[in-house]
Structure 1
Amino acid sequence: MFLEQFISYIKYEKRYSLHTVAAYESDLAQFYTFLNHPEVVIHHPSEVTHHHIRNWMVELMNADITGRSINRKIATLRKYFKFLLQGQHITATPTARVQTPKASKQLPVVVDEEKLSRLLDNNDIFSEDFAGVRDKLIIELLFGTGMRLAELLGIIDADIDTYEGTVKVLGKRNKQRIIPLNKELKQLLLKYSTLKKNEIFANNSLKLIVTNKGADAYPKMVYLIVQKYLNYISTQNKKSPHVLRHTFATSLLNKGADLNAIKDLLGHASLSATQVYTHNSVERLKSIYKQAHPKAN
């Protein structure tokens, strides 16, 4: 009952994205599965103690779950028990005495910008039919704007302004922002729009990105499209929409863009989230120094 109330709260009152809601549901389901262990009998959230949470953390660590993932799961519990506390279902939150593990800082994974540009310029890779142009548009939008997957899936046709050369996206915490479009993206959007209007779909979605049948595009579809085309240029394991977002930000930084401007384009709430890209930039400078300076070695 409490889980359903909480999920309804973050979905309808807080208006979290579907991706975020799914992550919260998954984390809480994992925690309650742990609590349903024969040796642990919990009938009410008020019976959960910090010992239960710590024991769960140990189990996660033994399963080689990363510190970053564990921190996210504990953050979910903090939000959940805070909700129960505010609703007076519990008198104290068990997360207050829980310390999370230090998460190692991971550098954002990117793809080679030049190879990606050549891929997008290769007319033999993307077909000229609706599906081919849509696939190319997905890659171009993710790389050309740095938007998140959920933001891409949320765009409707009316959010595109080809005259002004902008796209309106709804980011985290329902914050709206305007992202500029480059010339090639504007032309591709016009081409896609024409093909889309000429298609006879079984469904008629208002969303910009749709399936071959005209229904709303979904996360797995976009993942598979991104992986398919990044396989042409990269052998790295991680080939996701977020890799293209990282590549967008790193590319801007390497070309001298202001960090605050990148923050605004990405829709970050704080500059600290954007500063992770400076590490990639520093590593690039080190590499150039080692190759070019006579005293480097």
Structure 2
Amino acid sequence: MSLAKFKAYLGLEKQYSSHTITAYGRDVETFAEHCGKEHGIQSLSEVSYPMVRHWIVGLAESGMSNRAINRKMASLKAYYRFLQKAGLLERNPLAKHRSLKVEAKAEVPFSEKEMERVLRAIVYPEGFEGSRDRFMINLMYTTGVRRAELINLTLGHVGPDDLSIKVLGKRNKERILPFLAETRTLFKEYMEVRNAKGIGLGNHHVFVTNKGNKFYETLVYRIVNKYFQGVSTKVKKSPHILRHTFATHLLRGGADLNSVKELLGHGSLASTQVYASNDIATLKKVHAMAHPRNVNK
């Protein structure tokens, strides 16, 4: 059953990123190889759930975490749903599968002091890369933009006069994100240096390499990690933690959950509530200070 058609379906109909499509395809191929080797199965339409369970047990015994196994199972679920939708399969062997239990990951946002240090205290390199990196980190913190959205941001979608950017999020949903006056200043400084050096003149993307090519995911990660390495002792220093920090700091500042949801581009409030639950200590302080029955105020 054509894996190429499955990948095309993920890209055209589900609007998944190229990274996700590659990962899903690889998981299906690995599972198909396992079934052929262990069970003599030539077509994935012949698979039964005990065969799937056998694969899961093997992955667990190899030391793979439940979270990683669940990601692989998501790939298989998507594949079998595709086969059913295409009329190529009547019985889905994963119909009754339940995800393995995983512990909730505690993602610790950067503190306001750490953000102040990375934005104001550290010295960025002179020239193109320094101005680009400073602008990028500032934009990510002040808008909560996703890494993929940042990479695909084009010059035509930055409104320096009305202090906003237009991003294309998941499922091709557009949203307008406001940014600060200081972010506009950094954008103009970056573009002045970029144009003066003639970097990326034919590239309409906002963020380019020093050779003028479009940004890529690992470069964004390396830049964020590089600058936070000197100001934070947190284990995880990634673009997602910067987005997490944006949401957490807004909620601490009194922003309502629905507004943060819209800014983040979340499809449901449940996704945004994670940031609220992670900031329970702040909520307790607010409650203690504000509640009229608290005699210790």
For residue 94 of structure 2, give the secondary structure of its aligned residue in structure 1: helix
The share of aligned pairs that are identical, in percent, is 39
Partner of 1:272: 270
Partner of 2:38: 39
Q: Distance in 2 between matches of 1:59 and 1:142?
A: 40
The answer to whether residue 140 in structure 2 is matched with residue 152 in structure 1 is no
Q: Distance in 2 between matches of 1:78 and 1:135?
A: 39
Q: Distance in 2 between matches of 1:266 and 1:285?
A: 21
Q: Distance in 1 between matches of 2:26 and 2:228?
A: 28
Aligned partner letter, 2:72: K
After superposition, where does 1:1-297 map in structure 2 within 5 Å? 2-36=2-36, 38-122=37-121, 124-201=122-199, 204-285=202-283
> 1:184: Cα distance to partner?
1.0
8 Å CA contact 1:160–1:167 kept in 2: the answer is yes
> 1:129: Cα distance to partner?
0.6
- Normalising by structure 1, we get a TM-score of 0.90
Residues 103-112 or 144-153, more deviating = 103-112
Q: Distance in 2 between matches of 1:285 and 1:140?
A: 26
- Partner deviation per Cα, 1:100-124 (whole Å, 9 max, x = no partner): 11232223331222112222112x5
8 Å CA contact 1:107–1:279 kept in 2: the answer is no
For residue 272 of structure 1, give the secondary structure of its aligned residue in structure 2: helix
8 Å CA contact 1:49–1:94 kept in 2: the answer is yes
> 1:203: Cα distance to partner?
7.2
Q: Distance in 1 between matches of 2:183 and 2:200?
A: 27
> 1:29: Cα distance to partner?
3.6
> 1:237: Cα distance to partner?
2.3
Q: Distance in 1 between matches of 2:40 and 2:62?
A: 22
8 Å CA contact 2:49–2:93 kept in 1: the answer is yes
For residue 188 of structure 2, give the secondary structure of its aligned residue in structure 1: helix
Q: Distance in 2 between matches of 1:44 and 1:33?
A: 10
Q: Distance in 2 between matches of 1:83 and 1:20?
A: 15
Q: Distance in 2 between matches of 1:78 and 1:264?
A: 29
- Partner deviation per Cα, 1:128-158 (whole Å, 9 max, x = no partner): 3111111112211221111111111110110
Specify every segment of 5 or more residues in structure 2 that has no aligned partner in the other structure, as ranges: 289-293
Q: Aligned residue pairs: how many? A: 291
- Partner deviation per Cα, 1:229-284 (whole Å, 9 max, x = no partner): 11011222211100100010011111111000000000000000000111221134
Give the ranges of 4+ consecutive aligned residues of structure 1 lying more than 6 Å apart after TM superposition: 287-290
For residue 228 of structure 1, give the secondary structure of its aligned residue in structure 2: helix
Alignment RMSD (CA, Å): 2.3
Q: 1:138 to 1:7 in 2, by over 3 A?
A: same
8 Å CA contact 1:53–1:98 kept in 2: the answer is no
> 1:289: Cα distance to partner?
9.4
Specify every segment of 5 or more residues in structure 1 that has no aligned partner in the other structure, as ranges: none
Aligned partner letter, 2:31: F
8 Å CA contact 2:155–2:206 kept in 1: the answer is yes
Q: 1:246 to 1:54 in 2, by over 3 A?
A: same
8 Å CA contact 1:145–1:248 kept in 2: the answer is yes
8 Å CA contact 2:124–2:134 kept in 1: the answer is yes
Residues 113-122 or 184-193, more deviating = 113-122
Q: Distance in 1 between matches of 2:191 and 2:87?
A: 52
